[in-house]
Amino acid sequence: MKDILEELASRRARAQAGGGERRVAAQHAKGKLTARERIELLLDAGSFEEFDMFVAHRATDFGMAEDRPSGDGVVTGWGTVNGRLVYVFSQDFTVFGGSLSETHAQKICKIQDMALQNGAPVIGLNDSGGARIQEGVASLAGYAEVFQRNVDASGVIPQISVIMGPCAGGAVYSPAMTDFIFMVRDSSYMFVTGPDVVKTVTNEVVTAEELGGASTHTKRSGVADLAFENDVEALAETRRLVDFLPLSNREIPPVRPFFDDPNRVEESLDTLIPDNPNAPYDMAELVGKLADEGDFFELQSEFARNILTGFIRIEGRTIGVVANQPMVLAGCLDIDSSRKAAKFVRFCDAFSIPLLTLVDVPGFLPGTAQEYGGVIKHGAKLLFAYGEATVPKVTLITRKAYGGAYDVMASKHLRGDFNYAWPTAEIAVMGARGAVEILYRSELDDPEKIAARTKDYEDRFANPFVAAEKGFIDEVIVPAMSRKRIARAFASLRTKRQDRPWRKHDTIPL
């Protein structure tokens, strides 16, 4: 028995050594942690239970039969984050560059299957050189098996991808189908074709960082949600995100202790809106003052900054927030902000996370670039997402709600449950000046008449009371009382049930 136990210990030690001291040192020299070190930081101490430690590849071509390290370049298993079950796989760049083989893929698929079966999130720590060339089509088949499980798990369990090194070619499509993507600055990148291929095909000269680095994907493409300075910060924020989410679509998000009075009166909100209707203000300030302890986990904070998305808690319960940001493009909706918010709304609806919408929107951004880019279709995505959402929906209009953008932003007509407005709200087809110039074109040469007409239009429509008279606004509330009113609204909606007509699936305008 002693000999067997020694053999087991020896095999475990070899497996845990990964690619050996030299490759581990090279990984550390790049400022990156090893696959196992990452898991240790992600999960609660001592909670990790590993699967398939001794799995080895089955390839024999190109001399592969002589090099069969245990684990085959990926560490898989389960553990807990703040005591709640999660499944995890962590690719090991020190073993064959973390490249995906047939058995490597099978290990990941086993984790995905178990997560679906048991109703728990999957977290993938990606650090891979791509498909293992020596295995040819077998490695490509492995990718497709992983992809299929990403599709099966979508909307059933949360899926989180943390890109902690290279992620190229077919490897990018698995993270792309997950719910959240985090990256690490200066050490992670994602692209379908690398810089060398780009240069060969299009004659463009571009670095890996410019082509698919964290800055590119968090600011320009919107592929990634957030970027962090190093592995440690990325894993810590992943733990924080998991704490906002339910384990599956059959559970509700966790309720956490809170020390912030739901009835808190925030006097500063009475003066948040500037006297000048064209002056900006920071909507993030309002979000922070509504949230328990001011805690706001913002997503895609550097992309489409004219809209805010993320999670807060009210009375210890997770709430998804979508809010126009007047500081950027006056809070207009455009292609990118519509896509960003639609994706977030659909995630929240899939996982029973109530939605709070804070509205200050002067309309959709005009221009040929927007029209040529398909703003009609992209704006319809957000409209569709709100219209199909059956979770509790509370909307607060703080200032402008003009035109079709008023409808899109969780209006009463899209089955908003509670639709509040501040006294400063302006709900109309368009701004007073634009409306008057259309209605009274014959008087444009008379500035005094136009000024009087504008004042008349403002008096009639630049307030929330016309909409309130029609029942489109449930209540005009005092800004300082917003947290109390919103908390009570969500509390009253905890037992909400709304059925939808049967269908195989919808046909959202993609």
Helix residue spans in 155-278 (DSSP H): 173-176, 195-202, 208-212, 214-215, 231-242
Residue 44: Cβ-neighbour burial (10 angstroms; 0-12, 13-18, 19+): middle
- The verdict on whether 130 is a catalytic residue reads no
Specify whether the CB–CB gap between 90 and 75 falls below 8 A. Answer: yes
Instruction: Say which of 73, 130, 169, 379 is annotated catalytic.
Output: 169
Instruction: Say which of 401, 405, 410, 435 is annotated catalytic.
Output: 405
**Residue 494: other Cβ atoms inside 10 A:** 11
300 phi/psi in degrees, rounded to 5: 50, 45
DSSP type of residue 13 = H
Instruction: Say which of 170, 194, 316, 373 is annotated catalytic.
Output: 170
Three-point CA angle 392, 395, 401, nearest 5°: 150
- The verdict on whether 404 is a catalytic residue reads yes
* Distance of alpha carbon 38 from alpha carbon 280, whole angstroms: 42
Instruction: Say which of 404, 434, 452, 480 is annotated catalytic.
Output: 404
* Distance of alpha carbon 286 from alpha carbon 403, whole angstroms: 23
Encoded tokens for 59: 């390839």
Beta bridge partners of 77: 50, 88
Q: Where are the beta strands (DSSP E) in 392-445?
A: 393-402, 418-421, 426-428
With a CB cutoff of 8 Å and minimum separation 6, the contacts of 427 are 397, 401, 402, 406, 421, 461, 464, 466, 467, 472, 473
DSSP 476-496: E--GGGHHHHHHHHHHHTTT-
- The verdict on whether 31 is a catalytic residue reads no
- The verdict on whether 169 is a catalytic residue reads yes
State in Å, rounded, how far the first CA of the chain is from the last one.
61
452 phi/psi in degrees, rounded to 5: -65, -45
Catalytic residues: 169-170, 404-405
